[in-house]
Chain A
Amino acid sequence: MTKSYIVFGRRITAQLTFAIGMALVFIFSLIPAVGILIISFTDIRSLPFLPVRWVGLENYETFFSSAQIGYNVIALRNTFVFAFAVTIFQNVLALLIAVLLNQRLRGRNFARAAVFLPTILGVTVIGLIFTLLFNPSAGPAQQLWGAFGSSSAFFGDPSLAMTLVIVVQVWSGIGVAVVIYLAGLQAIAPELYEVADIDGATSGQKLRHVTIPLLAPAVTANTLLCIIGALQSYQLIYVLTGPINPATQVLSLAIFTQGFGGAQGGTVQSQGYAAAISMVQFVIVAIVSLLSLAYLRRRETVL
């Protein structure tokens, strides 16, 4: 007979707690998700008085139509570039900063707070800060560019806008990644480093053979959070470069502009169409996340 473990003293307490948690997931995640799938087959406009018609696959056909596919492929490419670059840079930088902040340094707590600070700032505040910083007429960045005899429109430059948005996204999200890595670093037993010292390992070797393997679960968590977050992110892009800038158009921004008409001068479809883009995005995020998870779990085992 299997022994049952009673975590909170009474079985009913555990069941009740679980039931409340599941109910919340059901109401706030599962039902809206199924709702989105259903309305993606309608021409819903989210306005009173207007009838809702079942349009079958029409919204999906529009998304993949020859008129929209070019734009959507660019949005998809931008989404992947954005997600890939943010994931790589945010993780590498966060790991280096976490390793540095894990040393006994003077002002370590202040440095940790400073790194975490952008996380608590709102998107609009971050947008305002960087809009001023990269003001093309007289911002500090322009003056710096000027010192090298150059100038730029920054967020208005189609070849530079995406790079800058990635930089801002990494800056704003690095705090959480650093905290996760710091927690992982502090869980590594100091004895392991002592053993490595006795064996004559250099700092680089300790990082490669002790720190990174033992941080693998934190790397998995950070990478997945980063990939999912970046694939769904649009707020910073919206604030920094506007809703219909082709250079920084990503799928989530297309959903927002189509769904809520943020694209002035752009064609505004029904919210059913926005829901269809959401479903396409959901499938992409799910595939990428599951593949990444499988790969990272395998790496954890190897390490």
Chain B
Amino acid sequence: MATTMLRGRRARLTTGLITLAVGTSLALAGCAGGAPATSASVPTDTAAVTGELNVLVSSASGSDAGFKAVNDAFAAKYPDVKVNFTAVPNENYNQARSSRLSAGTIDVGLANPKELPSYVPESNKGDDARLADAGGFVDLTDQAFMKKFNPSVLDKIKYAGRNFTVPTGLSYYSGLTYNKKIFADNNIQIPKTWDEFLAVCQQLKDKGITPISIGGKDTGGIVMLSVVQGLYPTAQNKQDLAKGLYEYTVALNTDKQVEVLQKVQQIYTFGQSNFAGSNYNEMTSQFLNGKAAMISDGTWNVGSLRKAEKQVDFGYFPLPASNNAADNANLGGKVELTLAVPTNAKNKDAAMAWLAFFADNYKLFNDKAGFAPSQEGVEGDPFYAEIAPYTKNFEPAWDTIWIANTKAGQAAALPFNWNAVKPMGSMDAQGAADAAQKDWEAGR
């Protein structure tokens, strides 16, 4: 009897424990059901906008300064709103957003819902697309302030035909920032083809100047993305490649695909010594100190380069990965930080007012952020006028088109296995490409 009672008690305890655990874990995960309302509007009465406004973005010195400038001006217009602005490092953003979204403490945050092409299995749909499907973001398509933004940019960030996000600008990153003085002193012209580019690198190396500064620890992947842009220059080329890979008609270790890694390997030979251990700051300082003639980086660094104590006269050109100059004519890029209002935002009125204010005062933001402007008629840094010939046809970079296959192995994540190539990894280009193909096939 006593044993039965004890067993009964234990069983109840176990059941209770499991129920409590399930309840706790699900509650912590914030899996509230039901379709939320995705509409909101900008309040017309300034005095009606009050309370706290929580803005969460990923951090970069330029954009942080831009957001702060907007926040200060917003606080002057809306004195009854307290703006809590948080900028967290890029690599921790998802973690911070996840917990704060669950708690409903984001009024304005970042989102980037991406359409899933028909050839990509549904299981690869990203978190933001899933959130948009579930009504997690306010639909901003019909808001008056959206008309201030360039329609072609808005088109690029549409999801399911709707705009859930506000574009803060554009960045290009398939090129190289170059030191104009070093180029002039050595009588070097901007290379237009791969062979010319190799000759320029060799000439600089022979003179004891590091041709390219690379941040192996942080931004080593930019080299690969730049090569892909030259070898697959149009959006259609890249989409065909992605489709071919998902349909297993194209392999990662043959043809142009292996050429990507071979060219990456060649470029690595022109990096600063031991670049695999260099972080972003070390990479930038090599360039600012005049030790390196070029830097493999995106245009998002323009603001920081301008603010640097030691000024360098710099320009930017596409890394010419192809021997056909026409393929190297355009820079690949992306729409920068895209702002969204979660539907569980506690202060939606203030969030909508802030977005409208941001759109009206975009120049205030972009003068500090240094992006290529996402609004027509807004002047960006003069640097962007210089690179206009490379940006008149906006070409999306490879990582904005590629959707990773969660079933495939890590070597095929991007899917070019750039960080396995020496000295970043321990393989040659063919070995890294074979490893990527093996991991890609395994996800079939």
Contacts and interface: CB of A to CB of B under 8 A. Distances in A.
B293 to A, nearest CB: 16
Interface stretch (A8-16, A29-37, A86-94): A29-37
Given A46-B102, A50-B31, A155-B217, A265 B282 contact: no
- Chain A contact patch, size range: 35 or more
B98 A47 contact: yes
A261 B91 CA distance: 8
A137 B274 contact: yes
A137 B25 contact: no
Contact of A52 (B31, B102, B425): B31
Interface in B275-319: 275-279, 282, 285-286
B296 to A, nearest CB: 15
Nearest to B417: A246
A45 B407 contact: no
A109 interface: no
B216 A46 contact: no
B127 A260 contact: no
B278 A45 contact: no
A65 B444 CA distance: 11
A242 B439 contact: no
Nearest to A271: B29
Interface in B78-99: 90-92, 94-95, 98-99
B278 A48 contact: no
Given A50-B130, A71-B410, A267-B404, A157 B423 contact: yes
B25 to A, nearest CB: 4
Contacts of A156: 216-217, 274-278, 423-424
B91 to A, nearest CB: 5
A135 B282 contact: yes
B29 A44 contact: yes
Contacts of B26: 44, 52
A245 B273 CA distance: 19
A47 B216 contact: no
Nearest to A254: B410
Interface string B363-402: 0000000000000000000000000000000000001000
B90 A48 contact: no
Contacts of A67: 407-409, 439, 442-443
Interface in B326-363: 342-344
Interface string A150-169: 01111111110000000000
B114 to A, nearest CB: 13
A107 interface: no
Given A67-B407, A262-B91, A266-B410, A246 B425 contact: yes
A136 B274 contact: yes
Contacts of A151: 273-274
Contacts of A266: 404, 410, 413
Contacts, number: 190
Contacts of A49: 32, 36, 131, 134-136, 343-344
Nearest to B418: A265
A269 B278 CA distance: 29
Contacts of A260: 92, 94-95, 98
Interface in A29-67: 30-32, 34-39, 44-52, 62, 65-67
B20 A157 contact: no
A271 B99 CA distance: 13
A96 B443 CA distance: 50
A241 B217 CA distance: 7
Given A35-B22, A35-B25, A48 B32 contact: yes
A142 B275 CA distance: 13
A255 to B, nearest CB: 12
B130 to A, nearest CB: 6
B254 interface: no
A267 B405 contact: yes
B419 A246 contact: yes
Interface string A212-249: 00000000000000000000000000000111111100
Contacts of B344: 48-49
Given A32-B24, A136-B274, 11 more contacts: A45-B98, A46-B30, A48-B102, A48-B342, A48-B344, A50-B31, A52-B26, A135-B282, A260-B98, A266-B413, A268-B127
21 contacts: A32-B21, A34-B21, A38-B18, A44-B26, A45-B98, A46-B30, A47-B131, A48-B101, A50-B127, A67-B408, A71-B409, A135-B277, A151-B273, A153-B216, A153-B275, A242-B217, A247-B426, A267-B406, A267-B408, A268-B94, A268-B404
